[in-house]
Amino acid sequence: MRAALLFLLIAFPALAETPSRPTISFILEAIRDRALIAYKMDFIAIEGLNGLARFDPAFDARIADGRVQLHYRNHDLASFALPMTNDPASWAILLENASREAAHASLAIGKANPDELTEAIADGFLSKLDIFSHYAGPKEAQERRASRSGFGGIGVRYDVGPDFITLTEVIAESPAAQARLRVGDRITAIDGVKLAGHDQNEIVQMLRGPVASPIKLSLQRDNQTLTLRRSLIVPPTVSSSIDDGVAIIAVTGFNEETADGVTDAIRKAKTLPGFKGIVLDLRGNPGGLLDQGVRIADQFIPEGKILFTKGRHPAAAQHKDARSGDPGEGIALVVLVDGRTASAAEILSADLQDSGRAVLVGSNSFGKGAIQTVLDLPNEGEMTLTWSRFYAPSGYALHGLGVLPNICTVPSKSKEDQPLAGGRAAAPDFFAAWRSAAPDDMANRQKLRHHCPATDQADDRADIAIAKKLLNDHALYAKALAVAAPISTAASLHLPLPSVH
């Protein structure tokens, strides 16, 4: 009897783990108040509860007869009265109680810890909104914050070997660079702990720590032991090179130092003898911090609108005009885009094209004009929530459409296109149709995108060659700029929002 009782207590714990109620309540409140589309809370809550099915597909929740009904293995499990319609706190209590009932019935759900339960429910919520809204638990959120804002480290990238790590990059001016570490160096121990048997995540935690804290590295080279002090490391996103008077500035993403990196690259390029212009390479750039893209646009655009967004929440409506006096104004500029150019990188591209400041070369961009806000959660995780749409300076909604390059380098059978510098340019009326496409007419938007299909051209040197040709021929550059002359420079203040779901 005692053994049987012990088994029951283990299989069906009296105090089952539950998700973080404050976190669930916060997420529901954010969706209610901030999501781009208004959703019914009962729909979102039930979808979240059904997220527990990831642990045990035999679990199911639904609303029937005015109550929340739980089922397990096709049998009734529990029933709850519906909370107040739009009260996140009440729904969070119900989800907590329902999760406890599910944990008592299912051994698989009962084994899940609070973080896992919270993630399953949050994923259930957000998966029904759009593909860009996302929940990150505490560990993932920590990594995301580090990529945006930096972390305490020594400034290296590396490959993990069986007994050591091999440095593949040493970031300039980092503690590692100051200690004269170099690519190819092998580190065998950190703070006296040998690296044999440690995986990538463990090594990351060993290398990172508070800014100014000491770290001791054992090197295979000459059996050296070095002591460094960690500093704030923000992963570099900007690199530049010079080729025959043309500055090629590649931007791989947008974090808190990206705009400053571009500004520095512009200033250095302008000091070169025979300087002809800039190629801003945004191919493969997935985006990141929107304000950084806006700041880069302002570096090149002397005046006019560069940001207009609109959403349900008052704070989602943002307006930004360019200010004169920046180092990139007046410089001939070509921007390279492809099918992986997305989000803030597309917004930057649209700004530069619509303002007449840049010739775009490549293929259609990704088509992500939905903007997310990132919110810190009570459990130290974070949620990324779609809350507004971006409208280009000429007035069109970018989402689901993307940016059409002035010069398309993707093959086409169109008879109306005009050859231009090794690529092709659409007729002016096609650009007019592009910019006048209705925001919710996705069928037409997809049809328009077929003109210059989005492709991955991150390694295509032909785009660089076309860009250099443009910057070496003023008449050709002017002709390419005129191809995409905007039909309007003022976005409407009465742009439509998506319908309620």
* Distances, alpha carbon 279 to alpha carbons 60, 236, 246, 283, in Å: 54, 18, 7, 11
Residues 379 and 256 reside in one and the same domain: yes
Residues 316 and 453 reside in one and the same domain: yes
Catalytic residue, chosen from 185, 281, 354, 463, is: 354
- One digit per residue, pLDDT tens: the chain, 501 residues? 444 433 433 444 445 678 899 999 999 999 999 999 999 999 999 999 999 999 999 999 999 999 999 999 989 999 999 998 789 999 999 999 999 999 999 999 999 999 999 999 999 999 989 999 999 999 999 999 998 999 999 999 999 999 999 999 999 899 999 999 999 999 999 999 999 999 998 999 999 999 999 999 999 999 999 999 999 999 999 999 999 999 999 999 999 999 999 999 999 999 989 999 999 999 999 999 999 999 999 999 999 999 999 999 999 999 999 999 999 999 999 999 999 999 999 999 999 999 999 999 999 999 999 999 999 999 999 999 999 999 999 999 999 999 999 999 988 766 777 888 888 998 888 999 999 999 889 999 999 999 999 998 555 788 999 999 999 999 999 999 999 987 443 333 333 333 333
Nearest CA to 357 among 365, 366, 349?
349
Mark whether 368 is an active-site residue.
Answer: yes
CB 289 within 8 A of CB 344: yes
Catalytic residue, chosen from 368, 388, 394, 468, is: 368
Pairing of strands 186-190, 193-194: antiparallel
CB 299 within 8 A of CB 327: yes
Which of 129, 162, 195 marks a domain boundary? 129
Residues 257 and 400 reside in one and the same domain: yes
Q: How far apart are CA 461 and CA 472, in angstroms?
A: 17
CB 98 within 8 A of CB 61: yes
Domain count, the chain: 3
Q: What pTM does this model have? A: 0.86
Is 468 part of a structural domain of the chain?
A: yes
Is 489 part of a structural domain of the chain?
A: no
Q: How far apart are CA 387 and CA 487, in angstroms?
A: 27
Q: How many helices and strands, by DSSP H and E, does the chain display? A: 16, 24
Residues 404 and 476 reside in one and the same domain: yes
Catalytic residue, chosen from 90, 343, 363, 394, is: 343
CB 477 within 8 A of CB 359: yes
Q: How far apart are CA 482 and CA 469, in angstroms?
A: 16
Which of 166, 199, 233 marks a domain boundary? 233
Print the domain residue range for 320.
238-483
Is 495 part of a structural domain of the chain?
A: no
Is 143 part of a structural domain of the chain?
A: no
Mark whether 79 is an active-site residue.
Answer: no
Mark whether 291 is an active-site residue.
Answer: no
